[in-house]
Amino acid sequence: MIETDRPEALLTRLHLTAIRDQLDSLLDEAARAQMTLREALLFLAEREVARRDTRRIQMGMKFARFPCVRTLEGFDFEAQPSIEPGQVRDLATGRWIGHGQVLLLLGPPGVGKTHLAIALGREAVERGYSVLFSSAAALMAGLTKAHAEGRLEEKLLQLSKPKLLIVDELGYLPLEPAAAHLFFQLVSRRYERSSLLVTSNRPVGEWGQVFGDAVAATAILDRLLHHSQVLTIRGDSYRLRRPRSRPRNDQPTGSIPDVVRGSVLRVA
């Protein structure tokens, strides 16, 4: 008898590992439920697909390198009336990513730009899109380093692969003089092929200053804004308005945000 006569061996060859690993219990369950052969086949196939989806999502989340977990369920839309929940729900479907469009999330610090960027990134992973998250500072540093080491082409290729590239916090830190040109090359590579989500605390009118080069900024914006949605979030930082339910001794004492929060609340 050849080894492949054992169902486990055949299932291994077919890469049906979820069915293989739980074969006895799945067959018992199908028998208990008195499934027809067709129903049992469907039941087994569904288990295999469910395991693959779980694995794919786990891998995708790891690959994306999100700095923390933020979800749409965890986003308080009532606290943020300048955002239309319907528009965010629509963005969560990922259709814009399928079309290689650009999403700009603009607004002052603390209004939830990074939260929404991560949450939309997670939704995209769950829908099967490859995602990579990077702070603008790390992205620019990576491009500058690759350029200096003669590996720019390789780096651009690597950054062109994910279907959605999230560039967080453009404009917080001044960019190196060469960064505008390098970022332009990245944007051009991805243009109309794959999506970009950029968050910034600076309105696009100030991007000339952000990049330190008005011509490069115009060229970058020309591509970014061509097929884009711009979500401008207004209001105060969520950190300052959120009522604190944690016990006092749970908070870092004397940190600057606490001091700011205290003074703002007293004024309000």
Residues of this chain that bind ligand ADP (CB under 6 A): 70, 74-76, 79-80, 107, 109-115, 238-239
Judged by beta carbon, residue 30 or residue 106, the one nearer ligand ADP is 106
Cβ-count burial 25-47 (b if 16+ within 10 Å, e if not): ebbeebeeeebeeeebeebbeeb
Sign of CA pseudo-dihedral 229, 234, 237, 241 = negative
CB 94 within 8 A of CB 127: yes
| Nearest approach, Cβ of residue 105 and ligand ADP (Å) | 8
Q: What angle, 0 to 180 degrees and rounded to 10, lies between the N-to-C axes of helices 37-64 and 113-126? A: 140
- What does 75 interact with, of ligand ADP, Mg ion, none (CB < 5 to 8 A by kind)? ligand ADP
Nearest to ligand ADP of 219, 233 (CB atom): 233
Minimum distance from CB of 15 to ligand ADP (Å)?
A: 39
Nearer to Mg ion, 85 or 108 (CB): 108
Binding partner of 39, given ligand ADP, Mg ion, none, CB within 5-8 angstroms per partner class: none
Residue 100 or residue 235: which is nearer to ligand ADP going by CB?
Answer: 235
* C-alpha–C-alpha distance, residues 19 and 40, integer Å: 12
23 CA to centre of own chain? 36
Q: Which of 101, 114, 135, 195 binds Mg ion (CB under 5 A)?
A: 114
Residue 238 interaction partner, one of Mg ion, ligand ADP, none, beta carbon < 5-8 Å per kind: ligand ADP
In the complex, the smallest distance separating the C-beta of residue 72 from ligand ADP, rounded to whole angstroms, is: 10
Closer to ligand ADP at the Cβ: 102 or 119?
A: 119
Position closest to ligand ADP via CB: 112
What's the closest the beta carbon of residue 262 comes to Mg ion, in angstroms?
22
Instruction: Determine the Cα–Cα distance for residues 162 and 8; give it in Å rounded to an integer.
Output: 35
Query: What's the burial of 95, exposed, middle or buried (CB within 10 Å: 0-12/13-18/19+)?
Result: exposed
Smallest distance, ligand ADP to C-beta of residue 119, A:
9
Q: Which residues contact 210 (CB under 8 A, 6 or more apart)?
A: 170, 171, 175, 200, 202, 217
Which backbone phi and psi does 248 adopt, to 5 degrees? -55, -45
Minimum CB separation from ligand ADP for residue 19, in Å? 40
User: Nearer Cβ to ligand ADP, position 80 or 144?
Assistant: 80
Interaction partner, residue 121 (ligand ADP, Mg ion, none; CB < 5-8 Å by kind): none
Q: What is the CA radius of gyration of the chain?
A: 24
> ∠ CA(85), CA(89), CA(94), 5° rounding?
150
Site residues (vs Mg ion, CB under 5 A) = 113-114
